[in-house]
Amino acid sequence: MNKFTLCLHKTKLTVMIPDPQSIMLPYLKVLADSKEWSFQDLIETLAHTFKVSHNERQEMIPSGQKIFNYRVGFSRTFLKKAGLVESTRYGYVRVTQKGLKILAKNPDYIDMRFLKQINKFIAI
């Protein structure tokens, strides 16, 4: 987990919110049960996993979105592009067979470099 210093509205904040790439592997591991997960349940579970405090979870980016939620969403987008997770309906995802195969290899870390090695991944 990285420590970030943000300057928002001339106020300096130091928060312990993981970057999107640090979220990717834990995100995929949560989905390893092959069940359908709501985005909100994933946010709650990952916040607990990373020990993100209530106050940290309220921190916003300039657009008004919560930083942690934004980063979890960013991770979801790129895991979907790589074919490791799929949307089952609005606001819900589950792991794909490809995602389970990746987890079976027990990777130490999933980041953008790792995802680019997966043949289905399409960079934006």
Banded pLDDT at 12 (limits 50, 70, 90): very low
Which residues lie closer than 8 Å to 109 by C-beta, 6 or more apart? 21, 25
Residue 13 vs residue 87, higher pLDDT: 87
* Interatomic CA distance for residues 124 and 57, integer angstroms: 27
CATH 1.10.3720.10 fits 19-116, yes or no: no
Mean pLDDT of the chain: 88
Banded pLDDT at 59 (limits 50, 70, 90): very high
Banded pLDDT at 30 (limits 50, 70, 90): very high
Angstrom distances, CA of residue 114 to CA of 32, 54, 77:
18, 31, 15
pLDDT value at position 118?
83
* Cβ neighbour number for residue 72 with a 10 Å cutoff: 24
Banded pLDDT at 123 (limits 50, 70, 90): low
Predicted TM-score (pTM) of this structure: 0.83
